[in-house]
Chain A
Amino acid sequence: MKALLGTWLALLALLALTVALAGARLAPPAALAAALAAAAAKTALVLLIFMELGRSRWAQRLAAAASFLMMAILLLGALDDYWTRPEDAPPRAPAERVP
C-alpha cells in the first residue's frame, strides 16, 4: 500500500512539473522533449507498479512490450518521412506536381 501511495505522489509531482514547464515558455523542441519525457516517466510508473508489470509473468510482459514495440514501429515509420526531409524542401502540395 505504501508503494502505491508513493507512486501516486510521484505521478502528481510529474504532473505539477509539466504544467510548470508549460508556463516557462521553453523553446518548442525543449518543451516537446520535456513533455514527452514526463509522459514516458508517468507511463512507466503506472505500467510497472499500478499494472504490476514489474512482477508479472513473462507472457504478460511480452504482450505489453510487443504492443509498444509495434506502436513505435508505426509511429517512427510514419514520421521518418518528415524527419529526413531537408529543411529547404518543404512538403509539396499534390497540385504542384501536375505538369
Chain B
Amino acid sequence: MTTTRSDGELDAARLGMWVFLATEVLFFGALLTAFSAYRWAHARAFALAAGRMRLRLGALNTGVLLTSSLSMAAAVHLAREGRARAAARALLATGLMGGAFLAVKGVEYAGHVRDGLWPGPAFAGAGPERLFFAFYFCLTGLHALHVIVGLAAVGAAGASCLRRADGSEPGALVENVGLYWHFVDVVWIWLFPLLYLLRSAR
C-alpha cells in the first residue's frame, strides 16, 4: 500500500475530530444534565412515562446502531488495507442500517403521536409526564439529526473510497467519519437506558 499522507497528518486530523466531538459531548451532556435533574424531581412520573415507550422497538434500534458501528469499524480497517471497494461496501451497509434506524424511529414517533404523547396542548397524561416526552422528542430528535448528518458523511466517505479504488490513499475522511458515527452510537447507548429501560408499569 502506498500512501501520500504522513501518519502525523492523519493523527492531526483525528485529533481535530476528537476536539469537535468534545463539544458534542458537552452539547448532549447539558441536555442529559437537565433531564437527570427533572428525573430526580419527578422520578415516579418519569418512570411511568418511560413505561409508555415501546421497549422492543428501542432495543431493536439499539442493536441496529451497534451493528452499524461494527460495519463502520470494518470500513476503516479495510480502507487502511487499501481495499477501497470493500470499504465502500462496508460503508453502504453502515448507511443502510442508519436508514433503518431512522425508519424505526419514524414508526415510533407516529405511534407516540397516535397515543397522544406529543407534548402539546392535547397531551394525554399528567404534567411531569409531558416534561418527559418534551425531553424525549428533543433528545431523540437531535440524535436523529446527527444520524442524518452521519448518513451524508458516510455517503461522502463511500464516494471517496470508490474514487480511490486503485488503493492509492487511505484518507482521513473515512477515519473521521468513523469517529463521528461511533460517537452518535455512544449518544444512543445512553439515551436508550434513560428513556426506555428505567420504567414502571401503570
Contact = CB atoms under 8 A, between A and B. Distances in A.
Contacts of A1: 74, 77
Contact of A50 (B23, B36, B69, B192): B69
A60 B18 contact: yes
B113 interface: no
Interface string A64-75: 101110110011
15 contacts: A12-B66, A32-B198, A39-B190, A39-B192, A51-B179, A51-B182, A57-B14, A57-B15, A60-B15, A63-B22, A64-B22, A67-B23, A67-B25, A75-B32, A79-B37
A59 interface: yes
Interface size class of B (residues with CB under 8 A): 35 or more
A17 B123 CA distance: 33
B37 A82 contact: yes
B197 A71 contact: no
Interface residues of A, number: 43
Interface stretch (B40-48, B127-135, B165-173): B40-48
A75 B194 CA distance: 15
Contact of B14 (A11, A60, A78): A60
A78 to B, nearest CB: 5
Given A50-B69, A64-B21, A91-B41, 12 more contacts: A1-B74, A4-B73, A11-B66, A12-B66, A12-B67, A28-B47, A47-B182, A47-B186, A50-B72, A51-B183, A63-B22, A64-B22
A82 B186 CA distance: 27
The residue among A47, A50, A64 with the most chain B CB atoms within 10 A of its own CB is A50
A66 B167 CA distance: 36
A51 B180 CA distance: 9
B193 A35 contact: yes
Interface string B33-60: 1001100110100010000000100010
B17 to A, nearest CB: 9
A82 B30 contact: no
B33 A63 contact: no
